[in-house]
Amino acid sequence: MPVKIGTRGSALALAQASRVCEGLNRAGIETETVIIKTIGDEQTNVPLHEIGGQGVFVRALDEAILAGEIDAAVHSMKDIPAERPGGVVTAAVLRRDSPADFLVHYADLEDVRIIGTSSTRRKAQLHRSSLDAEIRPLRGNVDTRLRKLKDGEYDAIVLAEAGMERLGLDLPGTRLLPQWFVPSPNQGTIAVVCRRDPDLEQAVGTLDDAATRQDTGVERAVMEEVGGGCFTPQGVYCENGFLLAEVLALDGSRWERIEDEGKTPDDGRVIGRKLRALAYDLIEEARAELGVKQ
């Protein structure tokens, strides 16, 4: 009987699921892809923090696993929230692709006046940069975002470079260096979650990359300690045990940043607690401005 792999139905999600299925097939494991709809895909005109944050993309797939409709699910790891339901486990973390953001623009960079993104982190970091541009909300899948860019609604849009690579897109624009535009925790990483079952976990675990799991584990520890959900403009990036972590004001005018060694999740937890203490006012200001309840 094939392993049922759940995924969202976007082109990017399907490309990621295809990579997982191909890897499992090479290991001699038969697979079947099952598309699951999520509220985040259906309500593209509403900011994420108003419909439950990045976790809305994960919840429907978790529920399908727990209901026995699928055996495992493929996610962009950055979408997986800190709090996880009992009965599911992250069985594989694939080798990380590019963690960077990419500013797609056809005009010269100095002529960019309107940038599309609904990420509070990206918005704050763009405000902090030297770009003199208005940041307007933009959600939807990659095709929708690119169409709005080509239709002239925006002069530039922000995409994850890893997503572009997975879709085979070669687009004009500017790579935003992770050292300054610190990515979301786990950005560029594909994760596979499954129900708690030793045989299933072992099968899916053949795709696991130990180095990526270690770095992303540190990032998640920081994220869990900082808290704040998707409304808090925070970037966390660990590479080979070196950690960059920051929290910004929504308008990018202020920020708190830590650069330190982060080789274990325990290191991440210590750094996360320190960053939360330093950035407490920024987190509370963002919560109040966006009307997010505690």
Q: pLDDT of 62-81, one tens digit each?
A: 999 999 999 999 999 999 98
Give the whole-angstrom CA distance, residue 232 versus residue 91: 28
Q: Which has the higher per-residue pLDDT, 291 or 94?
A: 94
Strand partners, 73: 6, 193
pLDDT at 48 over 70: no
- What is the per-residue pLDDT for 294? 60
pLDDT band, very low/low/confident/very high, at 54 (cuts 50, 70, 90): low
Span 209-289: which CATH code?
A: 3.30.160.40
Domains 101-176 and 209-289 share a fold: no
pLDDT at residue 231 in the model: 82
Most distant pair of Cα atoms in the chain: their distance? 56
pTM of the model: 0.89
**Is residue 155 among the annotated active site residues?**
no
Q: Which CATH number fits domain 1-95+189-208: 3.50.50.60, 3.40.120.10, 3.40.50.970, 3.40.190.10?
A: 3.40.190.10
| Active-site entry in 41, 79, 97, 215 | 79
For residue 5, the SS3 value is strand
The pLDDT of residue 229 is above 80: no
| CATH number for the segment(s) 101-176 | 3.40.190.10
**DSSP-assigned letters across all residues of 183-247:** PPTTTT-EEEEEES-HHHHHHHGGG--HHHHHHHHHHHHHHHHH--GGGS-EEEEEETTEEEEEE
Residue ranges covered by each domain of the chain:
1-95+189-208, 101-176, 209-289
pLDDT tens profile 134-187: 999 998 889 999 999 999 999 999 999 999 999 999 999 999 999 999 999 999
pLDDT score recorded for residue 291: 82
pLDDT of residue 239: 97
